Structure 1
């Protein structure tokens, strides 16, 4: 990459604002300690965790064009990967993580392979159906609290650190989010990412040059499922609680709204969307009891305007010459053909 272009890209509002936001989030524990407000650590830890989950869904939805209303299934599986072993007194974080990754990977592979046999509204409905099936499975587990959920007495421990401690959970969630953002940026311009984005725009052309677009989409779906499961594992440790409510279709809807609000298919969009979505929700709850009606109307207006999200608005603030140099180029077909 041209060093000049690289320096210009860092100065772009669409890059600079999220980077500054990450810097501010890194200072939250310090600021909360000075203000003696531990609530802020827990609240912003939730934002970081949902930003990880939204980034995971963005891999399938934003890059691969797979509109899934069932990703709450993987959040729930990740949460119960901690809760069920903890119920039996197991607090080994590596075991929790292994259960989370393997179970989410297998369920993602099975549900993704079946769901990808459909397209459009069919794909949306079948992913929703799988999530609802998962919801009722965990509701039926009366030993683990059933519909009421189950408290987690033995949270995950890594290297002697208890992930159930808010500060530890915050630090781990922040590091995971930074790694996911970095990985998403690399993946987006890698051959795999280009094929994935090409399959979203023109699947017939991708298939015509000898690439199986469905296979790339399935791989993205499985990776998205595993990342979402890791977010669910972090959430369960933060709240020390696991509930079937985590698998609700409304949770999947919230993740989609975060992505669209931040910028569909962008690297920083899920982070911006999670911060604005959850921040606005909390502020409205403090201001009025009718916050849900106001919040719903605001989301409706955002959808009605059909903007490119917050990232798109930030890109419009860039000078025209710089924006022209740094505008996201379409998927280079010749590069995809070379990958074939």
Structure 2
């Protein structure tokens, strides 16, 4: 009887799915993120916590973009619009005395869901460069709309009086509190996106990326799946905007310019699209390079561009692909 029990346990352990490479990579990044504030305290340099919060926020946005770019082959060049909607949700609600973070997130995701549904419903009827240009056009429409809002500073933006509260508590008042709150958000959203990509919905979305005609022939409607993914991605990006507004305590249309959309695409491509963990690493690499190169030269964008060209030439799959070449991570099948 004991032997049978042991055999059953061995069989169950053998059939239990192991952690995938992307989850292991993400967990490693999360541990390193968690260690950053204590390290900053040891170095007596709070700047690292501030830049760390910014990295975490952009990691959320890059993760959201990867959901449609890496898994759905939808290159959205107006995705920064949702980042901006998240920031302005904080500014607008704060003006009415509503400072709770959860309420601001709900408002930001609701606004982004509507905007993404309209944008996606129109742009997804096209393909390729036409899709890119329509998403860019909608992004610029949002950009110029908020420039016209003189009540919120127009092109100059508006400063926030204070950071948001969390269920009435001033958890975000300190940089450490905001940092760890953002980290918890990133971890939760990563596992949500991981669950989505591993679900039936995610498999269909990936199948549409590979061959939409075949998926339609076997009974799936590509438009519905792509639009749903587009809306989810926009809502998650808006959550990153809520964090950025609190981190900077400043809101302006610059958060939703096409330059920001390009930066998000760079983060996804740099990290490795279709991996979820890769874009998080891409956000870390892109923002740290920006800080380091910017401190060395005012022409840092030239060197950053050279770095991107070398990455594309020698590792088309970004940091993720480079790590696989070096023997880390999952092997290509």
Normalised TM-score (structure 2): 0.91
Q: Cα 1:123–1:73, aligned 2, differ >3 Å: closer, same or farther? A: same
Give 1:18 deviation, angstroms: 4.2
Structure 2: distance between partners of 1:3 and 1:265: 29
> What is the DSSP-based 3-state SS (H/G/I as helix, E as strand, rest coil) of the residue aligned with 1:192?
helix
Which deviations, in whole Å up to 9, do the C-alpha atoms of 1:205-229 show, x marking residues without a partner? 1100111011100000000000000
Give 1:180 deviation, angstroms: 1.8
Q: Cα 1:94–1:176, aligned 2, differ >3 Å: closer, same or farther? A: closer
Aligned residue number for residue 190 of structure 1: 199
Q: Is the 8 A contact 2:271 2:282 kept in 1?
A: yes
Aligned residue number for residue 243 of structure 1: 252
Aligned residue number for residue 43 of structure 2: 35
278-287 vs 15-24, which moves further: 15-24
Aligned residue number for residue 307 of structure 1: 316
Alignment RMSD (CA, Å): 2.2
Q: Is the 8 A contact 2:90 2:245 kept in 1?
A: yes
Structure 2: distance between partners of 1:8 and 1:209: 31
Structure 1: distance between partners of 2:80 and 2:330: 36
**Counterpart check, 1:26 vs 2:34:** yes
Candidates 318, 326, 333, aligned match of 1:317: 326
Aligned residue number for residue 94 of structure 2: 86
Structure 2: distance between partners of 1:275 and 1:196: 27
Candidates 223, 233, 237, aligned match of 1:224: 233
Give runs of aligned pairs for residues 1-340 of structure 1, distance below 5 A. 3=13, 16-159=24-167, 160-305=169-314, 307-318=316-327, 327=332
Q: Is the 8 A contact 1:263 1:312 kept in 2?
A: yes
Structure 2: distance between partners of 1:168 and 1:294: 34
Which deviations, in whole Å up to 9, do the C-alpha atoms of 1:27-65 show, x marking residues without a partner? 111111222211110101100110000000111111111
Give 1:169 deviation, angstroms: 1.5
Which deviations, in whole Å up to 9, do the C-alpha atoms of 1:117-174 show, x marking residues without a partner? 1110000000000010001100000011000000011432112134353222211111
210-219 vs 292-301, which moves further: 292-301
Unmatched runs of 5 consecutive residues or more in structure 1? 329-340
Unmatched runs of 5 consecutive residues or more in structure 2? 1-10
Q: Cα 1:259–1:183, aligned 2, differ >3 Å: closer, same or farther? A: same
Structure 1: which 4+ aligned runs deviate by more than 4 Å? 1-10, 14-18
> What is the DSSP-based 3-state SS (H/G/I as helix, E as strand, rest coil) of the residue aligned with 1:119?
coil
Normalised TM-score (structure 1): 0.89
Q: Is the 8 A contact 1:82 1:96 kept in 2?
A: yes
Structure 2: distance between partners of 1:266 and 1:140: 38
Q: Cα 1:318–1:16, aligned 2, differ >3 Å: closer, same or farther? A: farther
Q: Cα 1:246–1:35, aligned 2, differ >3 Å: closer, same or farther? A: same
Structure 1: distance between partners of 2:210 and 2:58: 27
> What is the DSSP-based 3-state SS (H/G/I as helix, E as strand, rest coil) of the residue aligned with 1:171?
helix
Q: Cα 1:95–1:15, aligned 2, differ >3 Å: closer, same or farther? A: closer
Structure 2: distance between partners of 1:250 and 1:304: 23
